[in-house]
A and B are shown apart, each in its own frame.
Chain A
Amino acid sequence: MSLPIPPILSYALRRLFQAVPVIILIMIGTFLLLKLAPGDTVDALVGDMGGADAAFIERLRAEYGLDQSVWVQLWRYMAKLAMFDFGWSFVYEQPVSRILLDRLGTTLLLMATSLSMAFTIGIVLGAIAARRAYSLTDNLISTLGLIFYATPSFFLSLMMILLFSVKLGWLPVGGIKTITGFYTGWDHVADVARHLIMPTAALSLIYLSFYLRLMRASVLEVAELDYVRTARAKGAGETRLMVHHIMRNALLPVVTLLGLQFSTVLGGSVVVETIFTLPGLGQLAYQSVIQRDMNTLMGIIFLCSIIVVVVNFLTDLLYARLDSRIQLK
């Protein structure tokens, strides 16, 4: 007699099987697209070196396996990837898996703090704006949201650096820690937190405006529904109405957006990490593109694909939790 599989486990396994071909297609597509770009790792290395003779260039190309056809290179890469071997970075002279592990923590920290801040402040401001729709408060919040939305993150980053680092001297210009501080324990945590303030703010403000706008619209829509009117008629207070009846349901589209935006936040981290010199996947992706570091770039894309798949899975779970009508099958 076999044990029944819990619905959530069954759901998770099905999603996993669906994810595998998606990720394989992403990797093949990305590999071929990158190969379409002119030049390869050796060209980038030679450019960085300031020149080299042709024999030296051919030797490097043979050593890196770049003298083989694209299909042979693709087959070799995918065969290794199946064993979770991301290969060797000829730019960093390290296994790609080690480089990714070194950088993953910073990016996850930046994304987690940025999205948490954007999501929390966004839904609170969105709810306030909706409850006071068309008032001065609403106009103020909505205008601020539009300004954040319209301001490119690189500009915001540089302006914050100018104000808080150069003029006021309150915060460090960049990096993840004070290099010569040699801090340990809680001092180290506080030092890292201090370095994350501006990057987090720069990355979160643009997303904050998304959540704010969507939450405002969603609250306005839900507040007009029959069950809210019924609850109000039954004597529910405005605070209870807002927290238990309106916000819970108004959150559904915002949560969907949260899952979808995880990948775009990864994209945004490229700019923010580069300006603030944060040693994360975004900065690594930028450098890898410039240096045609195929293996590292493919590793980053693989990792990001996995993260997006997992986050969307978690979003679906949260969706079911927020709305009891949704069943995981």
Chain B
Amino acid sequence: MTKTLSILYAAAAGCIGLGLAANPLLAQEEVKKGGTAIIHMVSEQRILNPALRASTGVYEISGKIIEPLIDKSYDGYVPVLATEWATSEDGKKITLKLREGVKWHDGEAFACDDVAFTAIEMWKGLLNYSSALQANLESVDCPDPHTAVFNYSEPMPLELFVAAMPDLGHPVPKHLYEGTDILKNEYNTAPVGTGPFKFVEYERGQYVMAERNEDYWRDGYPYLDRIVWRFIADKSAAGAALEAGEVHESGFIGVSMADVERLSTDDRFDVGTKGYENNVAHSTVEFNHRNPILADVNVRRAIHHGLDIDFAIKTIMRGFAKPGRGPVPSVGGANYTDDVRTYPYDVELAKKMLDDAGYPVKDDGFRFKLRHRPAPWGEYTQLWGEYFAQAMRVIEIDVELLNNDAPGFLNGVYRDHDFDTANGWHQFRSDPAVSTMVWLRSGLPEGSPWTNQFGWKNEEIDELIDAAASELDVEKRAEMYHEIQRRAMEELPVIFAIEHPFISVTNKKLKNHHNTPRWNSSSWYDLWLDE
């Protein structure tokens, strides 16, 4: 007997309806077919296979070509290549019904074999984040071509499985990968999928082009003739390209924050955070708990009181953010709670707490010195690091900034632990178990970036994290995450200081844009161009 948690959608009609609901303008405007949407991207992508690379940059391109089993809309999770999902009583079997009549872009039929092959060969073994998520996956059975049964050795909460699928559930064609060196397969950079757009070419250093899939399974879609992703590394040049009308959209804060603010007053553009609710990130302050000063929770609390989060939100994020309330962001649904301890900006309190902790101001005017590594993840992360240093000096903590490029930062913080404090940002991926709890769990392999390499250990939290990852009762699971949030805000192993979605600048000629909570990563089957 199975416990079915999702009802079969009338897929095409339902999804169209969701699109209509998300954007009432669509009901008023006549859709124009054809045209080329030109999208700005800052960085080139090494590969375009989302089954091998969990990265928003990869999804931004390949999400139009390779579809996930399940996607996320503003009304919840919606079927794409899977039409129905259910779990067994013990949570060790998850059964998916797969969409019939779907073809890969090379004409072969999509079937369960493709899902089983991708899940075992890529999601479990090779896909970052997914390899931990699917560690207990033992096999995937195919009782018929359109049914896939995932067998786990430990209970897998269906909510977690479903929440992970939009990012970590893209099947690829088995017939193009089987028997090859998967990491070097040519289709990793020339993807073949079932999506509304077919890959055309990847001109390195310039662009990727995809064209309309005439055999797409949603009748009448897509609207656009093609999509071109242009790589412009310089953010100022990207802002100019938007203004000159050479690109239609720049996502994930692809232009400078000054341009974001300036273009937000330009009538030609929609500027905002809509469409990123599933891509919310935290700007963090990370402590090296091996440093005895920072191992003192009162010092960490004093540091938090010394940070004027509202000021940082206003000046660095130009208002497109809000204060963080722990590891789970406010878009975390039932798993989020704001019933946590907070740390209002209070310089005098911070100074008193540091005095009380045994760190008075010395002759040089400072209490102690911190070596701080700001992550090189773009303009606002660098500014957040510089603000941290300035704010600490106000409470008489000297800060030396150690600037590195990406490999230098990752080694310095996560492998060599050669830092006192660091700052960066971390992205929430639908469910706390996917990639968030690794910031708090101890005992993780040495050197893994974006995990708890901070020397912080709390056995009770470890137990809570493990229990929540396999808890099948939704309410109990949510309460566990609330407790973890509360404890994290009490003990502050990491300061999850600012919660911010990403920001897009979009030419208003693009219609139906940002109508899902992970829009830049979604398939854009209903996107159209009014020109």
Interface residue ranges, A against B (CB under 8 Å): 37-40, 43-57, 63, 90-94, 99, 102-103, 157-158, 161-162, 165-166, 169, 172-176, 179-180, 274-280, 283-284, 286-287, 289-290, 292
Say yes or no: is B57 at the interface (Cβ < 8 Å to chain A): yes
Q: Which of A51, A102, A287 has its CB near the most chain B CB atoms (within 10 A)?
A: A51
Pair B43/A179 contact, Cβ less than 8 Å:
no
Judging by beta carbons under 8 Å apart, are A38 and B445 in contact? no
Q: Which residues of chain B come closer than 8 Å to A37, judged between CB atoms?
A: 407-408
Select from chain B the residue with minimum beta-carbon distance to A287. B44
Is B408 within 8 A of A39, CB to CB? Answer: yes
Q: Are A274 and B234 in contact (CB under 8 A)?
A: yes
Say yes or no for B232: interface residue by CB 8 A criterion.
yes
B36 at the interface (CB under 8 A from A): yes
Is B408 touching A180 in the complex (CB atoms < 8 A)?
no
By the criterion CB–CB under 8 Å, are B406 and A275 in contact?
Answer: no
In the complex, residue of chain B having the shortest beta-carbon distance to the beta carbon of A41:
B407
> Which residues of the partner chain A approach B233 to less than 8 Å between Cβ atoms?
274, 277, 283, 286-287
A274 to B55, CA, bound (A): 23
> How many B residues, CB 8 Å from partner?
59
What is the chain B residue whose CB lies nearest that of A103? Answer: B205
Is A290 within 8 A of B232, CB to CB?
A: no
Q: A51 near B128 (CB under 8 angstroms)? A: yes
Is the beta-carbon distance between B204 and A176 smaller than 8 angstroms? no
Among B46, B57, B234, point to the contact of A91 (Cβ < 8 A): B46
Cα(A131)–Cα(B83), bound, Å: 83
Cβ of B205: which chain A residues have Cβ within 8 Å of it?
103, 277-280, 283-284, 287
In the complex, which residues of chain A have a beta carbon less than 8 angstroms from the beta carbon of B244?
A: 165-166, 169, 172-173
A84 smallest CB distance to B (angstroms): 21
Tell whether, in the assembled complex, residue B36 and residue A45 are in contact, meaning their CB atoms are under 8 Å apart. Answer: no
B23 interface residue (CB < 8 Å to A): no
Are B55 and A49 within 8 A (Cβ)? yes
* Complex Cα gap A39–B409 (Å): 8
- In whole angstroms, how far apart are the Cα atoms of A280 and B233 in the complex? 13
Per CB-CB distance, the 4 closest pairs between chain A and chain B, nearest first, are A39-B407, A54-B445, A279-B205, A43-B407
Given contacts A46-B449, A93-B189, A179-B228, contact A290 B406 (CB under 8 A): yes
Q: Is the CB of B246 within 8 A of A279?
A: no
CB–CB B406/A49 < 8 A = no
Docked-complex contact A290 and B405, CB < 8 angstroms: yes
Which residues of chain B are near A290, meaning CB under 8 Å? 405-406
- 1/0 per position for B279-315, CB-CB distance to A under 8 A? 0000000000000000000000000000000000000
CB within 8 Å: A-B pair count: 159
Task: Determine how close the nearest CB of chain A comes to the CB of B124; give it in whole angstroms.
Answer: 12
The stretch of B112-120, B235-243, B347-355, B498-506 in contact with A is B235-243
Which B residues touch A91, using CB under 8 A? 46
List, in ascending order, chain B residues with CB within 8 A of A99's CB. 204
A49 to B54, CA, bound (A): 6
The answer to whether B450 and A92 have CB atoms under 8 Å apart is no
- B36 x A47 contact (CB < 8 A): no
Who on chain A is nearest to B183 by CB?
A: A63
A48 to B43, CA, bound (A): 9
Do residues B204 and A92 form an inter-chain contact, with CB atoms below 8 A? yes
Residues of A within 8 A of B406 (CB): 39, 43-44, 47-48, 290
Report if A279-B228 is in contact (Cβ < 8 Å); known contacts: A158-B237, A290-B405: no
Query: For residues 378 through 421 of chain B, which have their beta carbon under 8 Å from a beta carbon of chain A?
Result: 404-412
Q: A56, A102, A179, A286: which contacts B126 (Cβ < 8 A)? A: A56
- Cβ of B276 under 8 Å from chain A: no
Give the shortest distance, in Å, between B440 (CB) and chain A (any CB).
Answer: 15
- Which B residues lie within 8 Å of A175 (CB)? 206-207, 230
Of all chain A residues, the one with the shortest Cβ separation from B202 is A92
| Cβ of B132 under 8 Å from chain A | yes
Q: Is A93's CB under 8 angstroms from B188's CB?
A: yes
A-side contacts of B206, CB under 8 Å: 175-176, 179, 277, 279
- Is B209 engaged at the interface, CB distance under 8 Å to the other chain? yes
Verify A179–B38 contact, CB threshold 8 A: yes
- In the complex, what residue of chain B is closest to A63 when comparing beta carbons? B183
A40 to B407, CA, bound (A): 6
